[in-house]
Amino acid sequence: MEAAILTAIGARLRAALAHGISAGYALRVDGATVGILDAARARRLAGFADVFTVGRDAVEFAPWLRDPPSRSAAIAQVARELARDGQLSAWRDELYAVSETFGAPPVFVVERAAARYFGIRTWAAHVNGVVRRADATMMWFARRSPRKPIDPGMLDNLVGGGIAAGRGVLETAVSEAWEEAGIPEALASQALPAGTVNVRRTNPDGVQRETIFVHDLWLPPDFVPANQDGEVVSQHCVSLPEAARLIGIAQGGDEVTVDASLVVLDFLLRHDALRGDAKDLGSLRALLEPTA
């Protein structure tokens, strides 16, 4: 049975990540690649000649957009027009900082809804909500609202959210913990950093290049999550074997988001909750650090 679950997890996640980042157009600022676009999106940006120059394999800001404020203002206008054309996911009124490394001074900021269109590298903070009970370790899942613009109705980590411009990792985790699960700050602040997981894949709305800062939060056995912002419709506490089964489901009502599946897989591997030979477990670990 455990071998079958490992096979299912591997097959499902490899299929989800199979659409890796193929050669396309680099979005470059001062010689550094900060985004990746496909040919169709690059051609669309060529129509904004006052903002972008499109070459053989790269898109760059026009020479007169030399600093972060001017780039940010220009790309905001482009994003608005792309949104009016139906090219973006739902507008968030939230800015993402664009830089090669987390925390570095941004070369510009961009509306969150446009991040995948431009293939911007983004960062997020997710929290595994886990419970030690007398007979087993349990894990909480949250079901996303059917009104969410991305992955509506799917199962997710108990807490997770993108890190907006100017915000920190723990700050985001604590804020999201309250909004999504009603976890008070004093408890949420006890979340233990557990490294990162990287997601690299193409989606209908563009390229997802995201680094997730993973945390484990050991919750009191009697704690019951309560969503505060309407983005979660229910929460479910399951055993670790059931968590493993869930992230191996390829389709259906209980499918877990790809992002959350990788975070859960990371937890299961770190806590030796999966049984299998070294080769099978190694192939699953490789999914957490894609090279494409």
Q: State whether the Cα torsion 89-94-95-96 is positive or negative.
A: negative
pTM for the whole structure:
0.94
Q: Quickly count: other Cβ atoms within 10 Å of residue 162's Cβ.
A: 18
Q: Burial code of 199-226, b = ≥16 C-beta within 10 A, e = fewer?
A: bbbbeebbbbbbbbbbbbbebeeebebe
Residue 72 has pLDDT above 90, yes or no: yes
CA distance 256 to 153: 9
Contact 61, 74 (CB under 8 A): yes
Greatest CA separation for the chain:
64
Complete domains list, the chain, with CATH: 2-19+122-286 (3.90.79.10), 25-120 (3.30.750.160)
Model confidence over 4-13: pLDDT tens digits? 899 999 999 9
Output DSSP code: residue 281.
H
- The CB-side HSE value for 126 (13 A sphere, CA atoms) comes to 28
Q: Which percentage of the chain shows pLDDT scores above 90?
A: 83
Model confidence over 14-53: pLDDT tens digits? 888 876 666 689 999 999 999 999 999 999 999 999 999 9
CA distance 30 to 244: 44
What is the rounded average pLDDT for all residues in the chain? Answer: 93
| pLDDT band (50, 70, 90) for residue 256 | very high
Identity of residue 59: V
